[in-house]
Structure 1
Amino acid sequence: MDKLGNPKNTIEILNKYKFVFQKKFGQNFLIDTHVLEKIVNAAEITKDDFVLEIGPGIGTLTQYLCERAGKVVAVEIDKMLIPILEETLAAYDNVRVLNEDILKVDLVSLIKEENNNRPIKVVANLPYYITTPIIMDLFEKHIPLSGITIMIQKEVADRIRAIPGSKDYGALSLVVQYYAKPYIAANVPPNCFMPRPKVGSAVICLTPHKKPPYDVKDESLLFSLIRASFNQRRKTLVNGIYNYEGLSFSKDLILEALTASGLAKDIRGESLSLEQFINIANYLSEKS
């Protein structure tokens, strides 16, 4: 099978199977060999690696992954792509394709079964509409990860690595940075895809912290506080937490937590660092 990084080969296989792009699945296939090389190089894939690919499409990136990795499991939601993948990946004996919704796959069991619970690498050209739920799912399930290298919307990549006080800073920045160190490996223009998306993309690497850099008493409380703080950005932190469904702290206790952390009572969530959120969460956890 000729490499699909060549646009001519991509068009041929799509025509052969009369494939119709599904808007609901956010399908944009990569057609640039340089970008494909950049992704596998950024992920630092070797024959020792087990790679989980999310949304392989017609198998463009999958071919590159199969050549570098020991084993690849590719999870594809669109059943119309399964016969295409059977053809485009026929030359490789180290790949398994699952026709599933990644958010419904029991990843913990899959990794146990396929990789003996050893850390895996996730590599993917993610559909824009579902990027955040997938990233959150990978971290919150605490699956063993040695790295995540994903192509996502440029705007989301900017949000992930944003710093306190910037316009892009929000709940996603904090939660991802709690688990991993983000690094943008490449910016990718729309003409590298078929069909062309309306916005630019970026390849971002997320390297999980080997051990948690902070001592957190109640992780779910921390994430609730973060979400509460950005739920209505114009509100002060106190009002955001006080009014957030699922949290039931008195205003006095929230103010006490801010004072104990050396913060002004009218501060907004967008000004706080991850460490400051953790201080507040730990204080509330101890007092409640």
Structure 2
Amino acid sequence: MQFDFGELYRQENLAEKGQKLRVFGNLPYNISTPLMFHLFKYHHIIQDMHFMLQKEVVKRLCAAPNSKAYGRLTIMAQYFCQVMPVLEVPPTAFKPAPKVDSAVVRLIPHQVLPHPVKDLYWLNRVCSQAFNQRRKTLRNALSTLFSAENLTALGIDLNARAENLSIADYARLANWLTDNPPEEMNKPEIIDTDD
């Protein structure tokens, strides 16, 4: 995932033309999530994205809190974009038929982020840590980042689990961490095991 969409935007003089990139494709399922995370970095120069994906990935992109499909991918996608399922595509639509169902999804980057964070690192970090231990309560899953008192002060139920928080909740946690980073904490690369 090294292609610089910003360079393409500049080479095509799209800003001067008042245009943004439109991205679409039938994504290889094994790289769809990393590719979308890469594209989210360019949300400000993308008009829309339309992808055919594995149906389960589309469910995760569109999920709401308190569901099994809700996860880090959901939060990051909905942080940057309005996500809309377009249609489902059965395996019989392909020759040879794949072993999975497919679906088309539309992602339209927000003009103004509804829940802006000061540092995306912390949003990614808190989501990764919470969802990598999604069966634990947030009090336990996030104990290296927040004290119980901090979580309570931020309006977080100590018995809640990762899937119970809204995107606004995660943004609030990330902004608090930006202002109050854990002592002696460097920003190591986040290892993705959930999405």
TM-score by length of 1: 0.58
The CA distance in 2 between the partners of 1:171 and 1:207, in whole Å, is 18
The CA distance in 1 between the partners of 2:165 and 2:22, in whole Å, is 31
Structure 1: segments with no counterpart, 5+ residues? 1-102, 244-248
| Matching residue's letter, 2:127 | I
1:189 to 78, 82, 90: 90
| Matching residue's letter, 2:40 | F
Q: 1:208 to 1:157 in 2, by over 3 A?
A: same
CA shift at 1:143, angstroms? 5.4
SS at match of 1:205: strand
Structure 2: segments with no counterpart, 5+ residues? 182-195
List per-residue Cα deviations over 1:68-127 (Å, max 9, x = no partner). xxxxxxxxxxxxxxxxxxxxxxxxxxxxxxxxxxx2322211221124344111010111
CA shift at 1:189, angstroms? 0.5
TM-score by length of 2: 0.84
The CA distance in 1 between the partners of 2:136 and 2:118, in whole Å, is 26
1:15 match: none
1:285 to 174, 178, 192: 178
The CA distance in 2 between the partners of 1:212 and 1:241, in whole Å, is 25
1:262 match: 155
In the alignment, structure 1 residue 144 sits paired with structure 2 residue 42: no
Q: How many corresponding residue pairs? A: 178
2:107 match: 206
Give the alignment of 1:165-244 within 5 angstroms: 165-242=66-143
Q: Is the 8 A contact 2:43 2:80 kept in 1?
A: no
The CA distance in 2 between the partners of 1:254 and 1:194, in whole Å, is 54
Does 1 or 2 have the higher relative contact order (CA < 8 Å, sep 6+)? 2
Runs of 4+ in 1 over 4 A off after TM superposition: none
Larger Rg: 1
| Matching residue's letter, 2:158 | K
Task: Output the aligned Cα RMSD.
Answer: 1.6
Q: Is the 8 A contact 2:24 2:51 kept in 1?
A: yes
CA shift at 1:140, angstroms? 2.2
| Matching residue's letter, 2:159 | D
The CA distance in 1 between the partners of 2:154 and 2:163, in whole Å, is 16
Percent identity (aligned): 39
Q: Is the 8 A contact 1:257 1:283 kept in 2?
A: no
Q: Is the 8 A contact 2:43 2:109 kept in 1?
A: no
| Structure whose residues are more often helix by fraction | 1
